[in-house]
């Protein structure tokens, strides 16, 4: 291969592919976004339809490694349907803060749980010949200034918390891909971090896959190549191509290092079958019955029953008031690069109608929970101009079905430069009610909205950077206009591109909404009063839980707390169904009969929720993240802004290893709901703890067994959790840490035996001075139970000598 040919496959050709090398008959390598589906090569909005699986935190709630492996295999079929070879997944960053906008996409606050689930996911995916790309390596635990901020993390916290899932992915699952994060780690961009990509990943862990940049996450030529970044994405290259050829010719980059990167890419291409894949690229929408069933089953297993005063499962008769902003809107996924065009969306209302019949149900919205005004939908004409002034004759005229767009790659049928164009979008809006309406626009670019020729919202004249479109967009600008019900109004949106900060994209979203007032809550309370049971289905949506924007608090948005209080006041059988990507404060928790955390369960959302509510399925979920009473209790909450959300380009992980339940244990804080918690429709008792520590001294292994009995009247599942605590460590250590778990399904009255295995690393901490793992002499306490706060069985094991373990 010539130098130019070698360099060509070290960066993308376009947004989703690595170029072919025709002289050697090497085919293109294609990738697609994940992790809760395979979107394919289209935009984040629209495109070929795909299966939408439960989001990461929902899968984390299942605590079911075989299920994750099954989902990984199903996702491989989805990737193949999009003509791709690699899935950009799984996402395994840790829930450091409850306000991280991307927590929905990640599994847990706990590194061990995250690692076990990621291994299952990767094994399932790669067993079908599709490459995994575990991300984001490392320190991307918030979305604020994420493309430039430096995560200041000590080595011990890195080794014991943040690197654990990646280490397991490499050593246990053999992942074929790793994606570097956008952020800096202790001052250096992860995409050019010699210690991270060289010392840790390749030298210590013996990794032989590729490292690719996050999109536009490369910032240099020689530095990234030398450090270990194999692939710059997307293309065309910004830091490689001719720049890398010139660097090699100038002696800045050793040709032997280029060869290492090329061999890694060729090895990957061989693994995923793209070396000799010369089929024309085609994408199809495969809506498989078996995938539908898997998503529905996984969505139900992810649901966590947080409270139940006997009202669930729902009885076979009686009137049910279905209330709330998420009742008739299917909230199936979070926002950002994980979003896709789902085959369909089942709302909770649709699921309940199918399960119970519409005759038993009544409905009231009660309030709204949108972050932005509801996106306008309908038939829109789009005129594209090959300039940024809407000047002259359009070079292309297209159509779209909603007043939002995310333009990347091919724009305007390829007739405009995707970073230098303007567009006029024209459609109609017919309001259902008369009165004041709010018109909102936010954009990565300049945008204005006109209603019947009058400028209503202006995100052009005084555009300023906000928290939308991956921090490339403005905040929403909202204007108001009085509209008449039934009358059709012309809506025109004018858009032009602008210089970007990091990510080269153009996007906008425009919505029109009619605000709901006191009368809507009163109507909901009236419906609840006249029903036997009130189901209040509330939470957030993908506008709040999204890549590129952290939450400002964990209060329910809008007037949802007022809604719950009003309904609970008139109906003692009030059941709250929460759909969020993480915990919320619950000031009404004492006045409701039941709470079900349903997350974002994918396209079968309403059916999965209805299955759990009606008892067709067991609520199989257990919390993968501690739910605090208030946001201020969270370990990342601090009066020091450098700790969170960051200050002057740095975010300091001051809490070190004391993340999640470790933090609450350390301070003696009682959370609203502890890590690992979840109720069942049956009950379980644990007994007969037996510990075999005969090999603890020689090789660090301990085997723990116990009996689990289903003491209730229904079949159900329990997650047996085993925690380890060092009774007298020379270094500060958590009171306990999850080191093993197993999910067991039992019939009524059935007893099962669970065996949990601990290895030497289960007892070790990382020594920053020695740069190795240490198991100290002394006693360790083993605690087994059903959550981090419910550990009825315990035992102690002891070592006479200390031992050192390699990295």
CA distance 333 to 541: 8
β-pair type (506-513, 17-18)? unpaired
If we measure between CA atoms, which residue out of 694, 684, 699, 691 comes closest to residue 760?
699
Do 444 and 493 contact (CB within 8 A), yes or no? no
Q: Is-catalytic flag, 413?
A: no
Q: pLDDT averaged over the chain?
A: 97
Cα distances from 611 to residues 292, 307, 377, in angstroms, run: 14, 17, 31
- Residue 47: the pLDDT is 87
SS3 of residue 182 by DSSP: coil
Q: What are the CA-CA distances from residue 405 to residues 38, 274, 506, 627 (Å)?
A: 19, 31, 8, 35
Q: Please list, in sequence order, all residues whose beta carbon lies within 8 angstroms of the beta carbon of residue 543, skipping any fewer than 6 positions away.
A: 335, 370, 371, 372
Indicate left, alpha or beta for 567 from its phi (over 0: left) and psi (-120 to 50: alpha): alpha
Confidence of residue 45 (pLDDT cuts 50, 70, 90): confident
- pLDDT for 502: 82
Examine the pLDDT at 337 and tell me if it is beyond 90. Answer: yes
The average pLDDT across 262-280 equals 96
- pLDDT of residue 181 exceeding 90: yes
What is the tens place of the pLDDT at every residue in 728-751? 999 999 999 999 999 999 999 999
Q: Is 669 exposed, middle or buried (0-12, 13-18, 19+ CB in 10 A)?
A: middle
Q: Are 409 and 14 in contact (CB under 8 A)?
A: yes
Q: SS3 of 73, please?
A: helix
Whether residue 180 contacts residue 191, with contact meaning beta carbons closer than 8 Å, is answered with yes
Burial of 24 (0-12, 13-18, 19+ CB in 10 A): exposed
**Residue 300 tokens, joined:** 């139900």
**pLDDT classification of 410: cutoffs 50, 70, 90:** confident
Average pLDDT of the segment spanning 76-105: 98
Asked whether the whole model's pTM tops 0.85, one would answer yes
pLDDT tens sequence across 425-469:
999 999 999 999 999 999 999 999 999 999 999 999 999 999 999
Given the structure tokens 């890590």, which residue do they identify?
A: 675
Backbone φ, ψ for residue 652 (5° rounding): -100, 120
Strands 435-444 and 506-513: antiparallel
Query: Residues 110-147: pLDDT tens digits?
Result: 999 999 999 999 999 999 999 999 999 999 999 999 99
> What six digits make up the tokens of 26?
């090497």
Q: Are 172 and 119 a contacting pair, CB within 8 Å?
A: yes
Give the span between the Cα atoms of 738 and 320, in whole angstroms. 40
Query: pLDDT per residue over 481-509, tens digit each?
Result: 999 999 999 999 999 999 988 888 899 99
Alpha-carbon distance of 294 to 300, in angstroms, equals: 10
Q: Tell how strand 86-88 and strand 29-33 pair up.
A: parallel
Show the domains of the chain with their CATH numbers.
3-272 (3.20.20.300), 300-368+517-616 (3.40.50.1700), 377-513 (2.60.120.260), 684-805 (2.60.40.10)
For residue 408, name the pLDDT band (cuts at 50, 70, 90): confident
Cα–Cα distance, 367 to 738 (Å, whole number):
40
Nearest to 51 by CA among 80, 78, 83, 16: 78
DSSP code string of 361-377: EEEE------SSPPBPE
Q: How far is the C-alpha of 779 from the C-alpha of 492, rounded, in Å?
A: 71
Q: How far is CA 175 from the centre of its chain?
A: 19
* Nearest-angstrom CA–CA distance, 592 and 530: 17
Cα angle 120, 142, 153 (rounded to 5 degrees) comes to 85
Among 6-15, 77-86, 400-409, name the one with the lowest average pLDDT. 400-409
Share of the chain above pLDDT 70, in %: 100
Chain center to CA of 783: 30
pLDDT at 762 over 90: yes
Q: Say how far apart CA 324 and CA 795 lie, in whole Å.
A: 47
What's the pLDDT at 488? 97
Q: Looking at 33, 110, 214, 545, which residue is catalytic? A: 214
The gap between the terminal CA atoms of the chain, to the nearest Å, is 37
Among residues 577, 562, 557, 578, which one has the least CA distance to residue 525? Answer: 562
Please report the pLDDT score of residue 216 as a whole number: 94
**What are the backbone dihedrals phi and psi of residue 368, each rounded to the nearest 5 degrees, phi first?**
-110, 165
Query: Strands (DSSP E) along 26-164, which ranges?
Result: 29-33, 86-88, 131-137, 150-152
- Residue 18: pLDDT band with limits 50, 70, 90: very high
Contact between 775 and 764 under an 8 Å Cβ cutoff? The reply is: yes
pLDDT at 167: 98
C-alpha 487: how far from its chain's center?
41
- With CA atoms as reference, report the closest residue to 105 among 137, 136, 64, 138: 136
Sign of CA dihedral 412, 417, 419, 420: negative
Confidence (pLDDT) at 484: 96
Query: What digits encode the pLDDT tens for the residues 668-677?
Result: 999 999 999 9
pLDDT of residue 409: 82
CA dist., res. 427 & res. 382, Å (int): 9
Q: What pLDDT, on a 0 to 100 scale, did the predictor assign at position 508? A: 97
Task: For residue 14, give both structure tokens.
Answer: 């376009």
The SS3 call for residue 479 is: strand
CA distances from 435 to 159, 341, 432 (A): 58, 33, 10
What is the Cα–Cα distance from 690 to 323, expressed in whole angstroms?
49
């Amino acid at each position: 291969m010539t130098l130019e040919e070698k360099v060509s496959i070290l960066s993308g050709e376009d947004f989703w592919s690595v170029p072919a090398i025709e002289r050697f008959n090497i085919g293109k390598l294609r990738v697609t976004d994940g992790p809760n589906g395979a979107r394919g090569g289209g935009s984040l909005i629209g495109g070929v339809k795909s299966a939408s699986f439960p989001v990461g935190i929902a899968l984390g709630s299942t605590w079911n490694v075989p299920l994750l492996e099954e989902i990984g295999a199903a996702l491989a079929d989805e990737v193949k349907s999009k003509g791709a070879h690699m899935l950009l997944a799984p996402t395994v960053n840790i829930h450091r803060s409850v306000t991280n906008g991307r927590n929905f996409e990640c599994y847990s606050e706990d590194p061990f749980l995250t690692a076990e689930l990621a291994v299952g996911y990767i094994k399932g995916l790669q067993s079908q010949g599709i490459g995994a790309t575990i991300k984001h390596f490392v320190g991307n635990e918030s979305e604020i200034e994420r493309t430039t901020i430096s995560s200041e993390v000590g080595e011990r916290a890195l080794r014991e918390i943040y690197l654990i899932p990646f280490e397991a992915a490499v050593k246990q699952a053999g992942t074929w891909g790793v994606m570097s994060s956008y952020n800096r780690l202790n001052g250096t961009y992860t995409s050019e971090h010699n210690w991270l990509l060289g010392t840790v990943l390749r030298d210590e862990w013996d990794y032989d896959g590729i490292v690719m940049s996050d999109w536009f996450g490369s910032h240099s030529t020689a530095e990234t190549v030398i450090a270990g970044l194999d692939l710059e994405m997307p293309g065309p290259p910004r830091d490689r191509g001719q720049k890398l050829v010139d660097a090699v010719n100038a002696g800045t980059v050793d040709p032997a290092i280029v060869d290492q990167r090329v061999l890694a890419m060729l090895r990957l291409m061989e693994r995923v079958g793209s070396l000799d894949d010369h089929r024309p690229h085609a994408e199809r929408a495969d809506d498989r019955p078996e995938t539908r069933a898997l998503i529905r089953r996984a969505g139900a297993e992810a649901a966590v029953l947080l409270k139940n005063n006997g009202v669930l499962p729902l009885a076979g008769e009686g009137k049910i008031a279905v209330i709330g902003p998420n009742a008739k809107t299917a909230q199936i996924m979070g926002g950002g690069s994980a979003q896709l065009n789902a085959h369909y969306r089942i709302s909770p209302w649709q699921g309940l109608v199918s399960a119970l019949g519409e005759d038993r149900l009544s409905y009231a919205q009660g309030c709204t929970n949108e972050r932005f005004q509801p996106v306008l939908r309908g038939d829109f004409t789009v005129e594209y101009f090959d300039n940024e002034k809407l000047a002259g004759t359009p070079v292309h005229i297209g159509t779209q079905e909603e007043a939002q767009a995310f333009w990347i790659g091919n724009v305007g049928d390829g007739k405009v430069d995707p970073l230098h164009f303007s567009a006029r979008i024209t459609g109609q809006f017919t309001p259902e009610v008369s009165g004041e309406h709010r018109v909102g626009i936010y954009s990565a670019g300049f945008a204005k909205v006109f209603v019947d020729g009058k400028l209503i919202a202006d995100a052009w004249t005084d555009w300023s950077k906000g928290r939308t479109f991956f921090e490339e967009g403005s905040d929403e600008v909202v204007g108001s206009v009085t509209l008449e019900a039934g009358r059709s109004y012309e809506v025109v949106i004018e858009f032009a591109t602008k210089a970007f900060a990091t990510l080269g994209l153009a996007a906008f979203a425009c919505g029109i909404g009619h605000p709901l007032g006191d009368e809507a809550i009163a109507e909901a309370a009236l419906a609840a009063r006249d029903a036997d049971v009130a189901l209040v289905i509330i939470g957030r949506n993908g506008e709040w839980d999204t890549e590129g924007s952290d939450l400002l608090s964990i209060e329910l948005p809008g007037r949802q707390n007022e809604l719950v209080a009003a309904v609970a006041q008139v109906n003692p059988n009030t059941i709250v169904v929460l759909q969020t990507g993480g915990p919320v404060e619950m000031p009404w928790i004492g006045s409701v009969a039941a709470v079900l955390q349903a997350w974002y369960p994918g396209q079968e959302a309403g059916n999965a929720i209805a299955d759990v509510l009606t008892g067709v399925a067991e609520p199989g979920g257990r919390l993968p993240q501690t739910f605090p009473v208030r946001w201020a209790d969270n370990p990342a909450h601090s009066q020091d802004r450098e700790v969170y959300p960051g200050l002057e380009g740095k975010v300091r992980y001051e809490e070190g290893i004391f993340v999640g339940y470790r933090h609450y244990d350390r301070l003696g804080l009682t959370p609203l709901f502890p890590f690992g918690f979840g109720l069942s429709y049956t009950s379980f008792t644990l007994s007969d703890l037996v510990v075999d520590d005969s090999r603890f001294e020689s090789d660090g292994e301990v085997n723990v067994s116990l009996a689990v009995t289903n003491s209730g009247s229904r079949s159900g599942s329990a997650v047996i959790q085993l925690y380890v605590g060092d009774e007298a460590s020379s270094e500060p250590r958590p009171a306990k840490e999850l080191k093993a778990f197993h999910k067991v399904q039992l019939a009524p009255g059935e007893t099962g035996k669970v065996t949990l295995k601990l290895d030497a690393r289960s007892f070790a901490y990382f020594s920053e001075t020695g740069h190795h793992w240490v198991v100290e002499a002394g006693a360790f306490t083993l605690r087994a139970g059903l959550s981090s706060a419910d550990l009825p069985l315990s035992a102690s094991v002891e070592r006479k000598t200390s031992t050192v373990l390699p990295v």
